[in-house]
Chain A
């Protein structure tokens, strides 16, 4: 009987000590201490099951969207790139092609040639920019770089070259006439 009373007393003292120690945190993060134990093992397992379903649907949805996008990339119509004719050598211009939602970048290299690419980095879709100092396209997110004249990967994590946009000059105006997706593996 003494042992039982002693155990009960020790447990209550421990509880009081814990409450005293956590009191400052309770003020900042108020939660009901008694409700901490209300998440049962079964509920936790159900949560993991829902997480599993969400991850499965996420993977499936992303794969489906990629497959649909790949089919929709086939048709293009020519579009004039306004302002390109006055672009100075060793500089760049942003435009949208083939749709308003597809950002692209036009580069006029130092030798006066025009090159255009999709602006999404092939690593994780950050927008690339033209570095005039290094005369190459650079991705600020993970330090990838692309050749300004070919779009090929120079270094960094991008797995393939930038998407190439074909351009041509018609009566002094620069037109985008098509977009080609590169599937070439970097380093392979």
Chain B
């Protein structure tokens, strides 16, 4: 999932460069916002996502079954 988001952000960066060189200033802000949303999703996954099939112990996550 994180890799997919990174690839999407890479595409957004390429689109931003292309739009800036073509003087399409109206699409720059939406592209930057989209990249920011991708970053926030990445951050939330890293910060809060935990595997549901495992439980936390003092030494890490272990399988519940």
Count A interface residues, CB 8 Å.
28
Closest to B23 in A: A183
Is A58 touching B13 in the complex (CB atoms < 8 A)?
yes
**B:1-49 near A, CB below 8 Å:** 2-3, 5-6, 9-10, 12-13, 16-18, 20-23, 25, 28-29, 31-32, 35-36, 38-39, 42-43, 45-46
- Please give the distance in Å from A156's CB to the nearest CB on chain B: 14
Known contacts A52-B42, A123-B21, A181-B23; is-contact A63 B32 (Cβ 8 Å)? yes
Is B2 touching A49 in the complex (CB atoms < 8 A)?
yes
A63 to B26, CA, bound (A): 11
Is B22 touching A159 in the complex (CB atoms < 8 A)?
yes
A65 to B25, CA, bound (A): 11
- Please give the distance in Å from B59's CB to the nearest CB on chain A: 13
Chain A interface helix/strand/loop/mixed: helix
Known contacts A52-B38, A52-B42; is-contact A66 B13 (Cβ 8 Å)? no
- Please give the distance in Å from B31's CB to the nearest CB on chain A: 6
Is A59 touching B22 in the complex (CB atoms < 8 A)?
no
Is A55 touching B10 in the complex (CB atoms < 8 A)?
yes
A185 to B22, CA, bound (A): 8
**A:48-83 near B, CB below 8 Å:** 48-49, 51-53, 55-56, 58-60, 62-63, 65-67, 70
Is B31 touching A59 in the complex (CB atoms < 8 A)?
yes
Closest to A159 in B: B22
Tell yes or no: A108 within 8 A of B by CB: no
Q: In the A-B complex, list the 10 residue pairs whose CB atoms are closest, starting with the nearest.
A: A66-B20, A55-B9, A63-B28, A159-B22, A52-B42, A48-B2, A56-B39, A59-B35, A59-B16, A56-B35
